[in-house]
Structure 1
Amino acid sequence: MEQLSYQTLKALGSKDYLLESAPEKVLQFGEGNFLRAFVDYFIDVANETSGFHGKVVAVQPIPAPALKEKFEAQNGLYTLYLRGIQDGRQMEKRRVVSCISRCISAVEEFQAVLACAHNPELKYIVSNTTEAGIVYRESDRMDDPATASFPGKLTLLLLERYRCLPDIGFVLFPCELIEENGKNLLACVRKYITLWELSGDFAAWVEEKNEFCSTLVDRIVPGYPKDADALNNANGYEDGLLVCGEPFGFWAIEGPGRLNDELPFAKAGLPVLVTEDCTGYKQRKVRILNGAHTSTVCAGLLCGLQTVGEMMADPLLRAFLEREVATEIIPTLDLPHSELDDFAASVIERFQNPFIRHELITITLNSTSKWRARVLPSVTEYVKRIGALPKLLTFSFAAYADFFRRGTFDCKDDREVLAFFAAHRTDSAEMLMAALCAQEQFWGQNLADIPDFLPTVTDAIQTIQNKGMRAALEAILS
């Protein structure tokens, strides 16, 4: 079977949309599955439907010669499948993505990266260098860019642009999964300017001519599909860059409104929102999507379930999840109710995706910090607005406590958390919950200070221990 390329597609008489030649407009640090199933997909659709007419230069932050060879052999082409549940129906969408022009190594070909700064049409920089990628290292040297961090390399790229095209700055869209990713990236660049004693004029240019936009990304991308051989056979070509993602996608960009005209994603009907403030959308994702996971996973495991799909097929667990989202989480958020309802409905569909096997035990990783970040804000906001405890979210704390107390699962959390539960494994329910609620280093506060929280979670864990998780869920839902 021939490898995917423009020539192969032409020989097959392909009817796929293809953009073989166009100006390079985007520099992308990261060539992995997520960006190719998310940002590059959006750019490709915008090329086809709304006249963006731009190519992406993919930059490898870490050398991966075999992967780079695939980009070269396939002319940057790859096949994307979006699979899942949408509007109540199972769907699969196939697309050959043709927006990537080439792939270069930031380590082995840094001069080629710097050369991109000389292109006046290249105005946008996207990155996904993992959560650990946006980092400042005092040991980085200006004369050794190969070993510098991503922000260090970016500082040198900005310096090159300043020297050759000072009237044209960049708009940067970091997609790393950290809070305020744009602001954090800019903060690192500022530190490198100081470390390397670069000029005040350059420092001012970075601030005035460039825009570091914080972004929120949302799409599950499992990556290379298990049924790749069958898909390649159906396509009639071999694709070493094949990637799968879920149908749902959402990209919120904190930036100026003019970006809607420059980057015609909205015109193309894509789920990309340019806004002055992403806070509401971050809260929506963290509290509904992530919060629903965190608040049900321990109960699901204690009911003998193994995956999110199994949990959604279980009437009791699904009822718990849907009710807590609708009646206890959504009332704590400030976006329009219709938007929140639509997002909640999409979350239910995403959790039912038959193409993604999401193990519940993997979701329990660092459950303590996750409950604090994803569930506790809904609890405290609900108490503030409604004047009562949200009983299902409160119950989830008891389920979490019983799950970790048992010590029968492969629990992975901070050492202090595991040590706490090991020390209190034989405590009575009253003693365990009193001690757990008082762990301010876990929760940032004493949870017993929330009215009725301690007696409520104590009663809940006693019910779980005496009657079992299913009976406890039935009781809380009755």
Structure 2
Amino acid sequence: MIRRRFPLTKSIKSIWNDKRNNYPERIVQFGEGNFLRGFVDWQVDRMNKRAGFRSSVAIVQPRANGTVSKLNDQDGLYTLFLQGLKNGSAISEHTVIEAVSRGIDPYKEYGEYIKLAENPELRFIFSNTTEAGIAFAPDDKLTDTPQSSFPGKLTALLYHRFQYFNGSKEKGVIIIPCELIDRNGDELKKIVLQFASLWNLGGEFTNWLEEYNVFCSSLVDRIVPGYPKDSISEITEELGYEDRLVVVGEQYHLWVIEGPAWLKAELPVEEAGLNTLIVDDMTPFRSRKVRILNGAHTAMTPISFLCKKETVGEAMLDGQIGEFVRELIFNEIIPTLDLPKAELTAYADEIVDRFLNPYITHYVMDISLNSISKFKTRDLPTLLEFVNRKEHLPQKLVFSLSALIYFYKGKRGDEQIMLRDDDSILTFFHEQWSTVDGSQSSMHTFVQNVLQEKMLWEQDLSELAGLVETITNHLMMMEHTGMRKALQACLENTH
């Protein structure tokens, strides 16, 4: 913990640069967001300080409108606050993360980006580009500088490394994505191989990918709300220096990596005292976490925001929303999972407590990024499995889906909602909502069009018995009486 006090005119880099160790860039990370900095980079920092890992992270900005310039302004340094229960006690502690060497914007510095492949020390590649990030973009070309998609950028980097080192088996890398999609490592590998085929990169490159590079699927678990904009003045005074990249996260963390046993020798997580597991099969961990924690987060987000609750904590303390979330978890999500009920219930109780963590200010609008793909990944499997097992619709999840569709109208009363999603999705909803004239029939047609759009769901959801009618009724009530009364009606109808 940092205990010294400095004049407030000091910046974090003026204080810490002369203290840090400059380790080789053995890690390339796609994504500069709060989560990776509060989870992966924190773990790298811990392994450096406690287990002799001796690695630094070069961060690649995956989107054109990223923030690596802020990171470079601070020479990669930032402060992480961890707040919540630790060994049964409420703890708030902070540390300076020194593991990041620099950030690279490939849209402005493509030469620097591709040069990362020439580093003989490079061993690991991590990523978190949201659920929408691991996707095949057929228009990407090897000659693009850069490619539009994360897998396209990654393929170009790996191909350059293959060429630069003449296909050396010693220069393969370990790739561990953190995006919350099922079998993320397998999916990323599949898309990289698609690009290798599309770009005619040759059999030798494909064999090098298969034989000497390892794609590990992984599961991440830590709530990282990010920059504490409501309390930054108090934090700055406590720190004694200015830090524009402060990150706040909870104490709890879990990283489950499905990989070969020899990976434990290369990634010294046990020696660093981290709750990171390298396992043969991550499936049970993933189903429990993604369905309960992430599923509840995504399901509650549009309801909470449209009820004018800005944070997860505020929403959980609201009588109606808190009741809704608990019933969603215990009555609709848990019955679709195959782990022992006692284990699932204990985990769910822990999740509810984490949602109520008084230290954490987790804005629901931050969770709302790419909400459509998040619902498809986190909540739709639960909805479909519930129907399969119970032979009727899960009312809370259907209400959440209705609220999500209403959220994508882009209005909260007279206030414009700053929706953040792919342009194609935002354009689709804008065009579809413009056809609704307030009548039941126009709403019914609108819902039919949304549910059968495979760009959103990769299947025709309008075929589910009663789903179009139920969502139409929910949306009519939301439109004419407001989200609060619609939520109350949902709670009353399912008691």
What range is the shorter-chain TM-score in?
0.7 to 0.9
How far 1:382 sits from its partner (Å)? Answer: 2.0
1:208 aligns with: 211
Is residue 255 of structure 2 the alignment partner of residue 251 of structure 1? yes
Cα contact 1:299–1:469 (8 A) shared by 2 = no
Cα contact 1:316–1:473 (8 A) shared by 2 = no
Counterpart of 1:427 (choices 430, 439, 447) is: 439
Cα contact 2:117–2:158 (8 A) shared by 1 = no
Counterpart of 1:140 (choices 142, 150, 154) is: 142
Question: CA distance change for structure 1 residues 457 and 206 in 2, over 3 Å: closer, same or farther?
Answer: closer
How far 1:112 sits from its partner (Å)? Answer: 5.6
2:452 aligns with: 440
Q: What pairs up with 1:73-472 in 2 under 5 angstroms?
A: 77-84=77-84, 90-100=90-100, 107-109=110-112, 113-117=116-120, 119=121, 122-128=122-128, 131-132=132-133, 138-141=140-143, 149-162=153-166, 165-176=168-179, 180-187=183-190, 189-190=192-193, 193=196, 200-226=203-229, 227-239=231-243, 241-300=245-304, 303=307, 305-354=309-358, 357-360=361-364, 371-397=375-401, 409=413, 410=416, 414-428=426-440, 432=443, 436=447, 439-441=451-453, 444-445=459-460, 447=462, 449-450=464-465, 468-469=485-486, 471-472=488-489
Q: CA RMSD in A?
A: 4.5
Q: Deviations over 1:306-339 (max 9, x none)?
A: 4433221112221221122012101101344455
Q: Deviations over 1:406-458 (max 9, x none)?
A: 97644656444454455444334x884587358422663355643x6577667
> Separation in 1 of the partners of 2:33 and 2:477?
46
Cα contact 2:312–2:355 (8 A) shared by 1 = yes
- Count how many residue pairs are aligned between Structure 1 and Structure 2: 459
Q: Percent identity?
A: 34
> Separation in 1 of the partners of 2:69 and 2:346?
43
Which blocks of at least 5 consecutive residues in structure 1 are unaligned?
12-17
Cα contact 1:280–1:333 (8 A) shared by 2 = no
> Separation in 2 of the partners of 1:254 and 1:275?
5
Q: Deviations over 1:101-130 (max 9, x none)?
A: 56677635358624422x3xx432223466
Question: CA distance change for structure 1 residues 392 and 125 in 2, over 3 Å: closer, same or farther?
Answer: closer
> Separation in 1 of the partners of 2:410 and 2:208?
57
How far 1:99 sits from its partner (Å)? Answer: 3.3
> Separation in 1 of the partners of 2:390 and 2:411?
36
- The SS at the match of 1:225 is coil
Question: CA distance change for structure 1 residues 390 and 30 in 2, over 3 Å: closer, same or farther?
Answer: closer
Cα contact 1:294–1:363 (8 A) shared by 2 = yes
Which blocks of at least 5 consecutive residues in structure 2 are unaligned?
1-6, 420-424
Cα contact 1:303–1:469 (8 A) shared by 2 = no
- The SS at the match of 1:167 is helix
Larger-Rg structure: 1
- The SS at the match of 1:234 is helix
How far 1:35 sits from its partner (Å)? Answer: 2.6
- The SS at the match of 2:274 is coil
Cα contact 1:437–1:448 (8 A) shared by 2 = no
Question: CA distance change for structure 1 residues 198 and 335 in 2, over 3 Å: closer, same or farther?
Answer: same
> Separation in 2 of the partners of 1:415 and 1:199?
38
Cα contact 2:70–2:244 (8 A) shared by 1 = no
